[in-house]
Structure 1
């Protein structure tokens, strides 16, 4: 029986969204950290939409590790050889990071509020435990006396303000459950109820807005559609939509140059039956031609990063 010899090449991080694991396991990482200073120069309440499976969650996770005060001792290991490791900003590792992922919250008529409360309740309690050394001793116990996501968020940002701490709020797939509601024609009236008037979702975003006057200093919110945010405008009219701006056109997804660099690397570590140019010609009609900023049309187009990783992984294996 032949001995298995592990290939001497970087892992392909297909389907992986944990930045720390990607770096720890020596996976191939396309460095997007050069956008961090640009994000800091932009408005503090940053709204960004991209298609599904385009790398939004990994981008958020990378930013979490960069700004998390608890990840300070891991900075060199995670970012040392990347752009931002050589050009760090003063804000690095200086926030308490609050991350909400709405992708797992159901959007059905009768249980979406229950799902939002459950997700936020678990996340808020975990936040208090993780940052226990930075918050008053009885924070978790007091949090448990509050009911629902809106009341708990109100309590949380006020506690952090009294403790002199800054929150960086990340929300991934902010529109997931409202998109699920919108997919059901009979549920459209419920969508209107929740995003207008005194709806619970509107109340939640109103509370985020209130928190920005206190300890919530920065927000980064992703989704796949601006529809829900437009409907929540008066509830969260402080956010700036950078989805179509030319300076952030290349922040998520891969440029052709980045794809070529990846293919060149793997062609030196794996048996390739095609040249890099031939593989680009195969991939281009399927994965390229995303352009989100009108000013970039006819110049830089973007490849779907998830599909590129899928293609390269299967090409090497098969």
Structure 2
């Protein structure tokens, strides 16, 4: 079995024979029942693969979906104009990097579809190219934005400065917020030219009004129906990797049931809605099955520096954050706040839902599994218990 560890390209996974857990029934439902979406998931949880899958779908690459659920659902397979923006791999602590990234993206699209000479600002140029693409193809544009919030997370609470066009010094964080707000406001004005929009990231940044300039997206981050859109469910794990689990049980000299229990303790436990469907961290469980060893794979990929900075301002005992019920508003508001880091800790994957009180509409939060608990303790110890 070929494991797609670190591979986020749907076309490569399908063409090169890597195992793929079929999420296309949910993707078909997503596309045909909405227009503009936002999805929050922790890092290494399959957001980029979801974006890549949607890109191939909207490009009409039917052959890649042969044998998958969507193969029997979709009848038309049209080729829409797709605009894919990926903020991964960029260092936005460098002043001007965000502007350069967006400008390069728009210029590439203009080379494909053409440029409106009357459009001067970056936002107007993007809006114009969406309109031109719609007019030329006769189909609405599809916009897929991966890790949309990275330009803000990179500079959040860093104190980094930049200069505006008039030479005035200002926070890079404020500059990025302003640029993003202006860029995303295009979606409201270009609504008639859009077929589908999905933004993925960690946090919604509602308090900085990034989204205020355009139609509010449907936030499916805590939607029961789409809870399994990213990650691996227990049913998917056992039906797809039964032989691999047996092999691990032999290596560890335990029963298959015991091996399942150990894998569950180590990598399971994520819940993204009141339905409490168990979701395994895909990066960790695939690494574990591939290498036939229980280890802390997710934490080794690094701690989010933005979270470390936020927690540096937090005066309360971090241990007291767990095993408590919190109101739904703590998660709907998606705030990155130095005084209240709880939502960011949850969205980063260090805490998850363990129970839902229907009467009070509140959630019990705790560490999802042993791997994350050990990683969080290590992160806190490394950064806050220094002599």
Common topology (TM > 0.5) = yes
**Deviations 1:259-308 (CA, angstroms, capped at 9, x unpaired):** 11232143689995355433322222221111111x213xx211011111
Q: Structure 2: how far apart are the matches of 1:24 and 1:115?
A: 33
Matched, 1:55 2:55: no
Classify the secondary structure of the residue corresponding to 1:273: helix
- 1:218 — aligned with what? 196
Which of 132, 138, 147 aligns to 1:159? It is 132
Query: Shift of the alpha carbon at 1:109?
Result: 5.9
Greater strand content: 2
Residues 235, 110 of structure 1: CA spacing in aligned structure 2 closer, same or farther, 3 A cutoff?
Answer: same
Query: Residue 247 of structure 1 aligns to a residue in which SS?
Result: helix
* 1:173-220 CA distance string (max 9 Å, x none): 00011101114145695434543xxx222110111322223x222101
How far did 1:11 drift? 0.7
1:22 aligns with 2:13: yes
> Relative to total residues, which structure has the larger helix share, 1 or 2?
1
Distance 1:282 1:230 in 2: 42
1:52-87: CA deviations, max 9, x gaps? Answer: 000011111111111114x2xxx1x31111111122
- How is 1:1-318 mapped onto 2 (pairs within 5 angstroms)? 10-69=1-60, 71=61, 75=62, 77-88=63-74, 90=76, 92-108=77-93, 110-121=95-106, 123-125=108-110, 128=112, 139=114, 142=115, 149-163=122-136, 164-185=138-159, 189-195=171-177, 199-213=178-192, 215-227=193-205, 231-266=209-244, 272-273=250-251, 275-293=255-273, 295-297=274-276, 300-315=277-292
Secondary structure of 2:290's partner? Answer: helix
Q: 1:113 to 1:186 in 2, by over 3 A?
A: closer
Gaps of 5+ in 2: 162-169, 294-387
CA distance in 2, matches of 1:289, 1:269: 23
| TM-score of the pair, normalised by structure 1 | 0.79
Secondary structure of the residue aligned to 1:243 is coil
What is the aligned-residue RMSD (CA, Å)? 2.9
Q: How many residues align?
A: 283
How far apart, in 2, do the equivalents of 1:290 and 1:270 lie? 22
Aligned with 1:296: secondary structure?
Answer: coil
**Higher-RCO chain (CA-CA 8 Å, sequence separation at least 6):** 1
Once residues 152 and 50 of structure 1 are traced to their aligned partners in structure 2, the CA distance between those partners, rounded to angstroms, is 31
CA contact (8 A) 2:271 2:278 kept: yes
| 1:125, distance to aligned residue in structure 2 (A) | 4.9
SS in 1 for 2:2: coil
Does the C-alpha gap of structure 1 residues 117 and 36 become closer, same or farther in structure 2, counting only changes over 3 Å?
closer
How big is the shift at 1:122? 5.6
Contact 2:38 2:200 in 1 (8 A): yes
SS at match of 1:103: coil
Give the deviation of 1:161 after TM superposition: 3.0
1:52 to 1:46, Cα distance in 2 relative to 1, 3 A: same
Cα gap change, 1:20 to 1:161, in 2 (>3 Å):
closer
Which 5+ residue runs of structure 1 have no aligned equivalent? 1-9, 129-134
